[in-house]
Structure 1
Amino acid sequence: MALLGGAASSLQAQAGEAVVDLMHQGEFARQEEIMRRSGAAGEEEITIRDAVHHMDEDTDLLLSFDDGRADVQGAYQLISFQGYLQKDLHALGNGAVVFLDSSAGMVLEPRQGSMFQPGTYLGAFSIEFWFYSGAPREGGEVLAWQGSSWIGTEPLFQKILVSLQDRRLTWNLENFFVRGEIGDQTDGFTGLPVVLRQRRELIPRTWSHHLLRYNPDRSVLEYLVNGVPESVVHVTDTGDQTGTPFNPYVGELSEPAVRIGQYLNGAVDEFRISRTWREPDQSRTGDLERGRLIYRPLDLYYPGARVQGAQVEGRTPGATEIRTYFFLSDYLEDPGFSDPRWQLLDVQGGLKEVSEDPRPAYRGRFLYTMVELLPDGVRENKPGLRSLSVEYRTDPVPPAPQGVRVSNTEDGVLLEWNPVLRGNPEGYMVFFGTGPDTYFDQNPRRVEQGNQALIQGLQPGRVYYFRVGSYNYSNNPQRGAHIPLELSSEVHIRAEG
C-alpha cells in the first residue's frame, strides 16, 4: 500500500447544490493495487494493477520494463539497449519494450552467480516472457545465447535460440543439455539437440505468455503458451523417461552475453529467468481480490455540506463491480480503508433520503471518498473507472435579522428582532460594545431560543451599540466554523440605571 497523504484539495464551493469531478480534480491520499492506464478508446481509466512479477530467491533475471525504464533485476548487467519503451502497450504492469526488425535488441552480461555464468551446471529452471507479435519477420529472435565447451581437443558448440519460424515461436537448445565429463577424449561427453515448437500460430497484435521449464527429477522439458502445453520432451538418450538423462550446462568457454529482441518485430514484457519449475502465468490479474483508493479530502468550505449522490462511469465486464464510499467530517483527517464511517453510495438512485441523516458521517466540511474495484471469477476481467462525480449540497448561511429594536427595562437593556425564516437558523449571536463596530472583541451573547435577548450589567449613562447575527449548521461558531455571520444593521441606546 502506498500512502500519499497531504493537505486537502481546494475547491471554491458555492452554497446550494453542486457537482465535483473527482476523476480530474481529485488526488489520491492512499492507493492499493491500482494503476492508471489508457482504455480501449484512449481515455484514461483507473483499474486493478496487474500481478507483475517480483524478485524472489529463485529469480535469476527479471525485466519488467515498467515506468518507461529498462531496469535489470538480477545477476546481470545491461551492456547495450536498442528498443522503444512503451507505456501504452503492455501485458502486465504499465510498460513493455518494442523491438524493430532492424535493431540489435538488448545485450545482458551474466555476472557472478547467474545461471548463464560460464561453467555452471543447472538444476530446475524456467524461462518465460509475454510476447506481442507485430508483422512477423522470419528469424526474429526473442532470446539468443551461445556457448561452448571441450570434447577432448574439439569444441562443443552450444546455443539457446528462441525465434520466429512460420508465425510460431521455436525453441532450439543445441547441446545445452550434456552428459559425461568435461574434456573427455571419447564420446563420453556429448550434447543433445532439443527443439520445441509452438503448434498454433501467433495471433497478430495479441499478447501471449510463453514458458519453457525443466524438471531434473523427471528429465522433462516443457513448453507452454498461455498455460497450455505445446511441446514436451524427455531430455534423455532414448527420448523417454527410461533413458539416461542429459543435464543443462553452460559451457566454460561460453560467450558472456544474453541477447533479447535481436531483429525482432514485436514487443516483450515481464521477461523472467528462474532457478525453479514455475507455474504458468496466464492471468492478467493474478490473485488480487480488489483495488482500492482514497481521494484526498475535498474542502467544501461549508461545515454543513451533505452528499446527495454520485455518478460513476467505467467498464464492469462480467460480474466485476465499482463501489464508491464517502463520509463527511468537519476536521482534516487521514482515514484508512477500514474506517467505520465509510458509507456506500447508491450510484443508481443517489442518497437524497440518506443525506438528511443527522449522524455526523453525513454532514461536514470535508468530503472523503473511497473507491473499490472488484474483479470476478474470470480473472482476466477487470473493472475500469473512467469518471467519478459526487453531487453535494451546502446550506447557505441565514440572512441578517431584520427589525432590530432596543429599549431599556427595569432588568436591563432588551434587544428584539424579527425571527429569521430562511437558511434553517439554529440560533442567534448578539454583539455589543461601547463604540460603533468596536464590540467584536467582547464575548457575544448566544440566543438558542426565541428572538430577543436581555443584556444586564451595563454601565448606566453609557451608550452601547448592538448587532445581531443568525447561524445554522454551516456557520455555527461552536463548531469552529470560519464562515462569518450575516449581521443586522447597528442600533444603539444609552443604558439607564
Structure 2
Amino acid sequence: MRKKDLCFFITVLLLLINVTSLSAEEHAIELGGEDGWDNFSTEKNIQKCLGRYGYESICIASASLTPSKTTDMFLSFENGTISDITDNYNVVFSSLTVNKSSIMGGYSALSRGTQKGLKLKGNENSIFGKKGVVGSFSIAFWLNPSLAENGETVLSWQSSRNINYEPLYQMIAGAFYNNKFEWTFTNVFSSPEGCESDITLTSSNMVVPSSWSYHVLNFDEETGLLEYYINGRLENLTYVTSSGTQEGVVYQAVLGVPATIEICPQFTGYIDDFSIQKTLIEPKVHQPMYYPDGGSFETNILGPFTTNSEITNVQSISTIPEQTDIQLFVRGAENCFGWTDETPEWIPVNDGVLSKSVVGTYFQLGARFYTDGQSKKTPLLTSVTILYNEKDPPLPPFSVFGESGNGSAKISWLSSVDESTDGYLLYYGTSPGEYLGRSAIEGNSPVDVEDAIEYVLTGLTNGKIYYFAISSYTITDSNSRIEGVLSKEIWVRPQRNKP
C-alpha cells in the first residue's frame, strides 16, 4: 500500500471511530441560581424569596389580604415600604423598621418599644378620617411580640365628640395586660338615645411572646356582636346592646373629631399585614399562610438551539418541606409561534427524568407548586438546570470529483463517513465560494440529490467555469433538515467533444 493511500485510510478510520461521539454534544441551561430568576411569561400565586445558599428562589405567595372596596387600611410592608396600600391614610410619623422576619410575604415591620411607632391620618373616605356612624368594621393583624408586659400597646386612637355641647373623651386601644391582649372602647358605642357604653374585651388565653399569632376583631352593626379571635379561635365576645344580649337595641360605633391612629406606639416586636375593613372578616382556625391552591409559572420560551435538540435530563435545587411538592414540566418544538396552553404538549419531569421525549429548537419550563394540607408551608425552587443534546450536523464528503461534458458537469463524491447522513446538497455557481447558480435544468443551487453519490447538471454554458461543493444533511424526527458544512470546492469547465 502506498504511503499516501495509507494516510488516507488512517484518516477515514479515525473519523469513523469518532463519529459516534461527535454526533451529539450535551449542553446545559441554568435558570435561577446565582443569577436569580428572570421574568416569567405567566405566573400565578408565586413570589421571590431567599432559598438554598442564600440565592433568590421561587415559592408560593403568602395568602395576604387582597385589598377591595371594603378595605379601609392595609399595611403589608412589602417592597420595603411603610404605607397604606388603599391610599386612605397618609403616614404622619414612623419609627417602624421594615424587616424580613415576616409571616406574610417578604417583609414585616419591627417596633422598638417607646419610639412612638407609626402615626397615620385618614382622609374623608376613611373610617378614622371623618366623624359619624362607622357601621360594621374589623381590625386584623399578625403579631409577634418580644414582650407581653402590661402597657405594650399595638393600637391607639384618641379623640372626642360633642354631646349636648359638652366634649366627651373617646378612645380605642389594643394593648397587653397580664400577658393577655385587651381591647378597650371608651365612649365609642352609642345608643339611639345617646347613651354611651364602655367596652373591654380581653383574650381568654395568654399571648405567647416570640411567636406569630393572627388577631381579628369584628363588630357587626346588625346584631351588635363584638368578637375577638386569635388564630381563628374565639377568645371573647360581647353584645354591644342595651341589654348586653342579642335581644337588646344595638349600640352603633360613632366617632367624633378626626384624629390620627397610632400603630405600635409602645410595643416591642413584629407586626405584619395590619388591616381595617368596612365589613366583617371570617376567622379561620387554620389561617392559611400561603395560597391553598398553590402557585405556578411558565418561563419565557428558550432558544433557539440547534434543530432537533433533545432534553436529556432536568435537575433542580429545591427545598421541599413535608406534604409540599414541586412538579416540573418541559416542552419543545421546532418553532416558537402559535404556542398555547395545550400545544406543544407539556411533559412531566419526575426525579429529573422526562416521561416522554422532548425535541425541538425551542424549549419552555413550567412549574407547579403545592402547599401542605393547612397551607402553612411552601416549597422553594432555587434553580433548574436543563440538560440537552445538540445533534452535530453531518460531516461533508471527504473527496469530491468533477468531469466535464457537453453543456454539463458530472460531480461525484465519496460517501460521508457520518452515519447520520441522509442525503446531500449540490451547490454550484460561477464564482469561487459563491454558489448562486440558476442555469442548470435540474434546478437552482443547491440541488437536493438525496442519497446519490454522483450527479449530472445539464444546461450549463460550454467554456465557462463552474464551481461546486457538497454538503451532507440529516432528516430529523420532525422532518426538518440539519445541514453540515461544505466540502472542499472543485471546478469544472463544460465543453463540446469536438471543436
- Name the SS for the 1:116 alignment partner: helix
Distance 1:450 1:376, change over 3 A: farther
Stretch moving more, 283-292 or 65-74: 283-292
1:466 CA displacement:
1.5
1:259 CA displacement:
0.8
The amino acid of 2:64's aligned partner reads V
Give 5+ residue unaligned stretches, structure 1: 1-13, 182-188, 356-361
Q: Aligned pair 1:310/2:314, yes or no? A: yes
Which of residues 186, 207, 215 is equivalent to 1:202?
207
Match of 1:32 in 2: 44
Q: Aligned pair 1:110/2:122, yes or no? A: yes
1:493 CA displacement:
2.4
Distance 1:93 1:368 in 2: 28
8 Å CA contact 1:395, 1:423 repeated in 2:
no
* Alignment deviations for residues 250-288 of structure 1 (CA, whole Å, 9 cap, x no partner): 13xx35111112122122222111122211265335665
Q: Aligned pair 1:58/2:70, yes or no? A: yes
The amino acid of 1:21's aligned partner reads E
- Name the SS for the 1:323 alignment partner: strand
Q: Aligned pair 1:78/2:80, yes or no? A: no
Q: Aligned pair 1:321/2:325, yes or no? A: yes
The amino acid of 1:94's aligned partner reads G
Distance 2:132 2:165 in 1: 20
Aligned residue runs from structure 1 range 374-393, under 5 A: 374-393=370-389
8 Å CA contact 1:215, 1:277 repeated in 2:
yes
Distance 1:152 1:354, change over 3 A: closer
Q: Aligned pair 1:225/2:230, yes or no? A: yes
Match of 1:239 in 2: 244
Distance 1:334 1:384, change over 3 A: farther
1:146 CA displacement:
0.8
1:390 CA displacement:
1.1
* Alignment deviations for residues 226-245 of structure 1 (CA, whole Å, 9 cap, x no partner): 11111111223543334444
Q: Aligned pair 1:95/2:107, yes or no? A: yes
Match of 2:349 in 1: 346
Distance 1:418 1:302 in 2: 26
Match of 2:426 in 1: 430
1:327 CA displacement:
1.8
8 Å CA contact 1:303, 1:473 repeated in 2:
no
Which of residues 128, 133, 139 is equivalent to 2:145?
133
The runs of 4+ residues in structure 1 deviating greater than 6 Å are none
Match of 2:495 in 1: 496
Distance 1:300 1:124 in 2: 58
Distance 1:150 1:459, change over 3 A: closer
- Name the SS for the 2:127 alignment partner: coil
- Name the SS for the 2:32 alignment partner: helix
Match of 2:9 in 1: none
- Name the SS for the 2:118 alignment partner: strand
1:156 CA displacement:
2.5
8 Å CA contact 1:423, 1:472 repeated in 2:
no
Match of 1:365 in 2: 361
Distance 1:429 1:306 in 2: 25
8 Å CA contact 1:326, 1:367 repeated in 2:
yes
Superposition TM-score, scaled by structure 2 size: 0.84
Match of 1:215 in 2: 220
Which of residues 387, 400, 404 is equivalent to 1:404?
400
The amino acid of 1:125's aligned partner reads F
Stretch moving more, 258-267 or 318-327: 318-327
The amino acid of 1:47's aligned partner reads C
Superposition TM-score, scaled by structure 1 size: 0.84
8 Å CA contact 1:309, 1:345 repeated in 2:
no
8 Å CA contact 1:136, 1:266 repeated in 2:
no
- Name the SS for the 2:64 alignment partner: coil
Match of 2:457 in 1: 455
1:300 CA displacement:
4.8
* Alignment deviations for residues 19-38 of structure 1 (CA, whole Å, 9 cap, x no partner): 22112466222222211112
1:137 CA displacement:
5.4
- Name the SS for the 1:67 alignment partner: helix
1:471 CA displacement:
2.3
1:180 CA displacement:
5.0
Distance 1:370 1:108 in 2: 43
- Name the SS for the 2:41 alignment partner: strand
* Alignment deviations for residues 68-103 of structure 1 (CA, whole Å, 9 cap, x no partner): 2223215323222221123x2322233222221132
Distance 2:217 2:307 in 1: 61
Percent identity of the aligned residues?
24
- Name the SS for the 2:79 alignment partner: helix
Distance 2:26 2:53 in 1: 32
Match of 2:288 in 1: 284
Distance 1:427 1:167 in 2: 84
1:423 CA displacement:
6.4
Q: CA RMSD in A?
A: 2.9
8 Å CA contact 1:99, 1:105 repeated in 2:
yes
The amino acid of 2:349's aligned partner reads D
Distance 1:153 1:457 in 2: 113
8 Å CA contact 2:333, 2:344 repeated in 1:
no
Match of 1:359 in 2: none
Aligned residue runs from structure 1 range 242-281, under 5 A: 242-251=247-256, 254=257, 256-280=259-283
